[in-house]
A = this chain, B = another copy of it.
Amino acid sequence: MGPKYSSSRENYLKAIFHLQEIHGTVTTNDVASEMQTRPASVTDMLKKLKAQKLLLYEKYKGFKLSTEGRKVALQIIRKHRLWEYFLVEKLRFGWDEVHEMAEELEHISSKKLVDRLDEFLGFPKTDPHGDPIPDSQGRFTLPRQVDLLNLPVNQQAEVSGIGDQSAEILELLNHKHIALGTRLEVKKKFAFDNSLELKIKNQSPVTISEHVAKNVFVKYEE
Interface residues of A (CB under 8 A from B): 2-3, 87, 90-93, 100-101, 104-105, 108-110, 113, 116-117, 120
Contacts and interface: CB of A to CB of B under 8 A. Distances in A.
B104 A116 contact: no
Copies in the complex: 2
Contacts of A117: 91
Nearest to A90: B120
A91 B113 contact: yes
A173 B101 CA distance: 36
A91 B116 contact: yes
A91 B120 contact: yes
B90 A113 contact: no
Contact of A109 (B3, B104, B110): B104
Contacts of A90: 120
